[in-house]
Copies of this chain bind each other. A is one copy, B any other.
């Protein structure tokens, strides 16, 4: 973590946290900026923060102060209801923004937990708002990021509200594959960072059902699973499974 007496701009430390130098730039920041505009954005991130697997970036109920951009790693967000029941509300990977749930009540509602050793860029929210007022492209972009989270959540509502278990799991796999592809990873072979229980919570089914469906998809030649290793053999077939669901009834 950078300290107060560390020199600010132009140093190596500064460069290391510079958005303008970051390979994930197109994923979390507005595109099509010139060099001087990019320099403006470099003041957005105050520090970086490492989060070890199993540790939480923040907890539900904690005061809200910053947004976070995932630099590398993998997170789940969970909502805990009164008595401790836990619902997974999302999975987040490199380039995605965390913490937007906290803006509304100046307090986080969900908990963000790293599912593998991860690192995030810390963007103090006061700075996000300041910069947004003076720098239109950032304002535009920030609003889009918020809106896309709403659209994503509505997609999950559709998933949970109108699809059957096998359709939900197929959609989940297709979605994962697409997001990994966008980050330069293999579209067909990956390692699940979450447990069957976490997948089940996210998709509104029990872990046994997740396991059974993985086995069935394997029998049907759609995927190959060994524990957390997944290889997609027939992405079109998986998409067909989700589409069927939407056609039915």
Contacts and interface: CB of A to CB of B under 8 A. Distances in A.
Interface of A: 79, 81-83, 85, 87-89, 100-105, 109-110, 129, 132-134, 136, 139-140, 143-151, 153-158, 160-162, 201-204, 243, 246-247, 249
B162 A204 contact: yes
When A and B form their complex, which 3 residue pairs have the shortest distance between CB atoms, in order from nearest? A103-B147, A153-B153, A104-B147
A176 to B, nearest CB: 17
A230 B158 CA distance: 27
Contacts of A249: 85
A147 B103 CA distance: 6
A49 B158 CA distance: 29
Contact of A154 (B89, B145, B162, B201): B89
A149 to B, nearest CB: 5
B143 A129 contact: yes
A140 to B, nearest CB: 7
Say what secondary structure dominates the interface of chain A. Answer: helix
B153 A204 contact: no
A85 B249 CA distance: 8
A146 to B, nearest CB: 4
Nearest to A136: B133
B104 A144 contact: yes
Nearest to A244: B83
A151 B105 CA distance: 10
A104 B161 contact: no
Contacts of A136: 129, 133
- Name, among A102, A133, A147, A203, the residue most crowded by chain B CB atoms within 10 Å (CB to CB): A147
Given A132-B133, A133-B139, A162-B201, 18 more contacts: A81-B162, A85-B247, A87-B161, A87-B162, A89-B154, A89-B157, A101-B147, A102-B147, A104-B144, A109-B151, A110-B154, A129-B139, A129-B140, A133-B136, A153-B154, A160-B204, A161-B201, A162-B204
A161 B204 contact: yes
Contact of A146 (B81, B85, B143): B143
A26 B136 CA distance: 28
